[in-house]
Amino acid sequence: MALRMLLLRSLLLLLACLLGAPGMLAAEVVYPPGSRLGLVPPSGMVTSGNFFGFEDPDTNAAIILASLPTEAYAELDKTISAETLKQQGMTFEKRETMPLATGQAFLVIAHLEQEKLRKWILIGSSPALTALVTVQIPDPAKSRYSDAAIRETLATLAIRPTVPVEEQIGLLPFKLADLAGFQVAGVMPGRAVVLSDAPAGTPPQPQSQILVSVAPGGPAEARNRDEFARDIFAAIPNVREVRITSSEALRIAGQPVHEIMAQARDPGGGTSLKVVQWLRFGGGGYLQLVGIAPADAWPEAYPRFRAVRDGIEPR
């Protein structure tokens, strides 16, 4: 009897500890790298390396997360209907409201006949953004991912205030050893980053900033690189009245580089700008860096542009 009472007390003590620490029982929200949206994925799904979301490689089931502007919620609320889904080859099943901790939301369920899969489309509002969550479950995987499991997963949708800078930079195919005092203003995963003296969300205005991006291709012959660099330079947005002041081939750290320097004005025409473009060739592609700064800030900005340039390494 004494042993039984001791075991009972021990079990009750363990239960009390668990109830007092709900984080030990509740699964944690997972944020795919680079995404402000996260949720508790269902058992069997892992973070995808191909898109923002989760996937089951064995069944091709997937949950895709997308962040849209806040005003998108009202537009999607009006336009997602049985008719619009039919135009996309889907059979409408139901639509219902689904209030979330993040704000107002609605859920649409449909079936894509041609590909034999079921879709859940969750649209959620919040003060910061509109969340678009698409769940795709192939018909053969329905027994693994029940309706109840999908609803339970969608109910865990969460939005974090920001994506850590280190996490954003980690999505790039190159390393940035020196940000030179700039802040990350935007990242295109796997392709490009914009560094700026103003954080993301700041109203547009002339400011020092540098774009770093990679692209495949580029001329193999050195004699063709000047024309190629000028064509790439001509596509730089948000500058006008551009006048190239120099265009020359360089070698930096033993690698072929083409440099273009120019003067320009901002889109409104009120601010004089200076622009530099570096193209670094090699490995079947090229690295493009474009630094833009107001003319009066150029003496301070240009050494920082060079510091960013010289600190770039492949992953």
Give me the percent of the chain exceeding a pLDDT of 70: 90
The angle subtended at Cα 216 by Cα 215 and Cα 219, nearest 5°, is: 110
Q: Model pTM greater than 0.85? A: no
Q: Is 52 helix (H, G, I), strand (E, B) or coil?
A: coil
Per-residue pLDDT, 7: 41
Q: At 148, is the pLDDT very low, low, confident or very high (cuts 50, 70, 90)?
A: very high
pLDDT per residue as tens digits for the range 159-174: 999 888 888 888 899 9
Average pLDDT over residues 25-31: 78
pLDDT per residue as tens digits for the range 205-226: 678 999 999 999 999 899 999 9
Per-residue pLDDT, 18: 39
Q: At 1, is the pLDDT very low, low, confident or very high (cuts 50, 70, 90)?
A: very low
On the question of pLDDT at 290 being above 80, the answer is: yes
| Distances from the Cα of 287 to the Cα of 21, 60, 182, 256, angstroms | 50, 34, 19, 11
Residue 13 is which amino acid? L
Average pLDDT over residues 216-240: 94
- Domains identified in the chain and CATH numbers: 28-159 (3.40.1000.10), 165-314 (3.40.1000.10)
Tell me what the pLDDT averaged over the chain comes to. 88
Per-residue pLDDT, 66: 95
Total Cβ atoms within 10 A of residue 16: 10
Per-residue pLDDT, 22: 42
Instruction: Tell me the backbone φ, ψ of residue 136, rounded to 5 degrees.
Output: -125, 115
Q: Is 142 helix (H, G, I), strand (E, B) or coil?
A: coil
On the question of pLDDT at 12 being above 50, the answer is: no
Q: Which of 6-10, 280-284, 295-299 has the lowest mean pLDDT?
A: 6-10
The angle subtended at Cα 200 by Cα 267 and Cα 50, nearest 5°, is: 110
Q: At 269, is the pLDDT very low, low, confident or very high (cuts 50, 70, 90)?
A: confident
Element (H, E) at 227: helix 225-234
Tell me how far apart the alpha carbons of residues 228 and 220 are, in angstroms, rounded to a whole number. 11
Q: Which of 11-15, 97-101, 103-107, 166-170 has the lowest mean pLDDT?
A: 11-15
The angle subtended at Cα 159 by Cα 55 and Cα 105, nearest 5°, is: 85
On the question of pLDDT at 20 being above 50, the answer is: no
On the question of pLDDT at 23 being above 50, the answer is: no
Per-residue pLDDT, 168: 84
On the question of pLDDT at 303 being above 50, the answer is: yes
Per-residue pLDDT, 250: 94
Give me the percent of the chain exceeding a pLDDT of 90: 71
Average pLDDT over residues 46-54: 92
Average pLDDT over residues 181-195: 89
The angle subtended at Cα 288 by Cα 215 and Cα 301, nearest 5°, is: 155
Per-residue pLDDT, 154: 97
Q: At 314, is the pLDDT very low, low, confident or very high (cuts 50, 70, 90)?
A: confident
Helices (H), 49-158: 72-79, 82-87, 147-154
Per-residue pLDDT, 146: 93
Per-residue pLDDT, 128: 92
Per-residue pLDDT, 268: 87
Q: For residue 203, what are the contacts with CB-CB under 8 A and spacing of at least 6?
A: none
Tell me how far apart the alpha carbons of residues 31 and 63 are, in angstroms, rounded to a whole number. 12
